[in-house]
Each structure stands twice: as structure tokens, then as C-alpha cells.
Structure 1
Amino acid sequence: MKLFVIFIKKLALDLKNRFKNLVSAYTSNKDLIDSFWNTLENNYTEKHRVYHNFSHLEELFTYFDTYKVELKNADIVSFSIFYHDIIYNIWKKDNEEKSALVSLDQLSKINLSSDFLENIHQQIIATKTHDAIDNDTKWMIDFDLAILGTSSEVYSNYSKLIRNEYKLVPNLLYKKGRKKILQHFIDKPFIYATNEFRRLYENQAKLNLTNELNAL
């Protein structure tokens, strides 16, 4: 348990440093940057989050660091990653919309153009629809869905964490909703938007989703 606590603290510190370095390129107001970070930290450390927390952000940034060279505007994608799940309420269906609004409310206070902010907004919304036209949004979506194409063991743990987040939802209702989501992805011609992720993860993702669906 002690090692786990140390790991979580290091994870938060790494993300905090990454965030502050990112925002510092657009404002020198340290109090404002601290305020932004406190909002992120308070939300991503909510007790009900066992998957959509700092570990999830770190997971996305691992892919981000690997494929950063493919991005047209890496800073926009970075902001989108930080804010895309800042609102996460299992009883609501507008989490992405609300997360996007929080990002605009905060980031409009620093030196970002309207186009820059709109791109962040659209990328966050895209994590709900999983549809994208532009290059950077395709990568953003694939980073967010990468967990679906991991090994069967990693995916199994992920699915258990998701169930834990929805532990207040009765089993019958959860299975009904989960089956709908799984079938949606299985029926898509491609889960992933980029050729790279299709090559690396598409087949495994379809297998993982099918196995979970059959087990429900």
C-alpha cells in the first residue's frame, strides 16, 4: 500500500509538472496556473474514479509522447487530454460537453486564440462521438481508445475498473448498457482512426470487446 501511495503521488507530480510547463507557455500568472491545476486535481481524484483518474491521463500521455511527432499542434492535444474527462458523472450523458465547457471557461483566461480554444473544444467532444476528420483529433481519439486494444489481461482489468466506477448501477441495467456500448464498437468498420493504431490494436480490440460481450 505504501508503494502504491508513493506511485500515485509521483504520478500526480509528473502530471502537475507537465501541465504547468504547458500552461506557462501562454501565461506567467502562477496563481492562475495553480488554480487551473487545483481544479483538475480535485476532479480527477474524486473517490468514485477508479479508471478515469490520473492514471488514465498518464496512459494517454504515454501514447502522446510516442506519437507527438505526428501531431500538427501538440499543445492543443495536450490541453484536450488534460480536460477531456474533468467532468465524469456516471448518471449523466453530457460529461464530454461539460468537460469541454470547463476547458473553455478556464483556458479563455490565458493567451489562447479563439481557434485554439475551439479545437480543444472539438477534440474533447470527439471523445464522445469517436468521429474525427482532422489529423490531431484522430490521434486524440485513438489515444483515448488505446486501452481497448491492449492484452486480454490488461483489458480484463480495465473492464473490472469500469464496472467498479458504475458499482451503484444495478447489474441488470449495467449489463444492458455495457452490451450496447460493446456492440457499437464491434459493429464499426474500424475502432481506430489512424492507420498506425489500426495496424497495432484493431484486431485485439475487436477480440477483447467480443470476449467481454460474450461473458456478460
Structure 2
Amino acid sequence: MKKLTLQKRFTDLLSRFTNDTMLISFLWKSIESKYTEKHRTYHNLKHLEELFSYFDDYKTHLEQSDIVAFSIFYHDIIYNIWKKDNEEKSADFALEVLNTLLPELNLEIIKEQIIATKTHESEHLDSQYLIDFDLAILGQSSEVYQQYSKLIRTEYKLVPNLLYKQGRKKVLQHFIDKPFIYKTDSFIEKFEQQAKKNLQNELNQI
């Protein structure tokens, strides 16, 4: 099966909610513009593609796959390394542009899902899958993980080394100390052990 481009995927998704092709094009361009900002070396369009590869694999497990797709597209649309409210701002952005297209209940679900990618906690199955899609990179091979950690450091290149190391240690230890990084049985089985190993290896090298 031919892999969908992000633009085609977004267009197909929006077409289920509106016939306004100009609006769809405008909304896509805003996504493309945000995710191709120069400072993004990891949280970019490739990151979205990775999440959608897991989305495709687990789509049948999701209760509202279209809503999860919206959340994927918008979960990192605002990304500023100096701010701690990127997810909240991303959720606000999503609700603002989608408010004429989706019922209020769906908008609230999208907001909850995007915020869940910050807290890594949710009682809702779809949000748990989204959290796991977003954190799947942690459980990849050591080579892939090392490349990921380099890309994250590049995104934070303006942060002095000492400060970065202090912050990074906290993040790594936080995940290592969790009983489980992942929320769903499938991801725990597939990635948990490797993720803990990768995180510990990085921590040991800092």
C-alpha cells in the first residue's frame, strides 16, 4: 500500500468535516509552516510521520481515530524551547482553528489528548495510545535513540551545556523511575525494556 503523504493525510481527514478546499489548504500550510521552523531538528514533519506510522498500525484499537489524527497534527504545533506551556499553547491553537469544524465535545477531547503528551498521564484509551506513539522513539534501537538524543540537543543548542545536562538528567531520571513509561500493553511489551535501557545509557554518559 502506498504511504500517504502528510498533506494527503491531512486533506483526507479535513475533507470528512468540510468541503472548503481553501480552508483545508490554509490549515495545512499553517501546519507545514510551523513544523518546518528552522530550530526544529526533531519536533518536525518527520516526527509527525513517525507518529502516523504507529497510528496506522494501531488505528483499529482507537475509539475515535479521526480525533487522534487531529491531535497528532497539532500536538507540537507550538514549540519553543524556552517555554513550559508548549502543549497548552498547541491545544489552544488547535481549538482555535478547528472550532467551526468540530463539535465542542471533540474539541475538548483533542485538548485533553494534546495535554496528555505533556503529562504522559491519561485515563482515556485513545490518549494513552497517543502518549505511546509520542514516546515510542525512546524504545527504539540504541543507534536510533542516540540519533534522537543528538537531535534534541541540537534543538536546545542555545542552552548552555551545564544547564542542559542538569535538565536532561531530570527528564531521564523521571522516566527511569516510572513503573512503566508506556500506557498500553502492546507498547509495554514492545518497547519498555529497551526504552529503560536507552535512558539509563544516556544518563550514564552525561
Q: TM-score range by the shorter chain?
A: over 0.9
Q: 2: CA distance between counterparts of 1:79 and 1:180?
A: 30
Give the counterpart of 2:144 among 154, 158, 171. Answer: 154
Equivalence for 1:29: 20
Q: For 1:110-125, what aligned pairs fall within 5 Å after superposition? A: 110=101, 112-125=102-115
- Structure 1, unaligned runs of 5 or more: 1-10
Q: For each residue in 1:51-105, what CA deviation from the matched residue of structure 2 results, as whole angstroms up to 9, or x when unmatched?
A: 0000000000000000101000000100000000000000000000000000000
Q: 2: CA distance between counterparts of 1:120 and 1:207?
A: 32
Q: 1: CA distance between counterparts of 2:189 and 2:164?
A: 31
1:200 aligns with 2:187: no
Q: 2: CA distance between counterparts of 1:90 and 1:96?
A: 12
Q: 1: CA distance between counterparts of 2:178 and 2:125?
A: 19
CA RMSD, aligned part only?
1.0
Equivalence for 2:36: 45
Q: Give the TM-score normalised by the residue count of structure 1.
A: 0.93
Q: 2: CA distance between counterparts of 1:46 and 1:78?
A: 21
Q: For 1:12-91, what aligned pairs fall within 5 Å after superposition? A: 14-91=5-82
Moved over 4 A (4+): none
Q: 2: CA distance between counterparts of 1:43 and 1:76?
A: 20
Q: 2: CA distance between counterparts of 1:158 and 1:109?
A: 37
Q: Give the TM-score normalised by the residue count of structure 2.
A: 0.98
Q: CA deviation at 1:109?
A: 2.2
Give the counterpart of 1:180 among 167, 170, 173. Answer: 170
Structure 1 counterpart of 2:8, which letter? N
Equivalence for 2:83: 92
Structure 1 counterpart of 2:115, which letter? I
Q: CA deviation at 1:34?
A: 1.1
Give the counterpart of 2:92 among 85, 101, 117. Answer: 101
Q: CA deviation at 1:38?
A: 1.1
Give the counterpart of 1:133 among 116, 120, 123. Answer: 123
Q: 1: CA distance between counterparts of 2:126 and 2:133?
A: 11
Q: For each residue in 1:101-141, what CA deviation from the matched residue of structure 2 results, as whole angstroms up to 9, or x when unmatched?
A: 0000000121x111111100100000000001011011000
Q: CA deviation at 1:31?
A: 1.1
Instruction: Percent identity, please.
Output: 64
Q: 1: CA distance between counterparts of 2:98 and 2:14?
A: 9
Structure 1 counterpart of 2:76, which letter? D
Q: 2: CA distance between counterparts of 1:117 and 1:35?
A: 19
Equivalence for 2:157: 167
- Structure 2, unaligned runs of 5 or more: none
Q: 1: CA distance between counterparts of 2:127 and 2:86?
A: 18
Structure 1 counterpart of 2:151, which letter? L
Aligned-partner SS, 2:100? coil
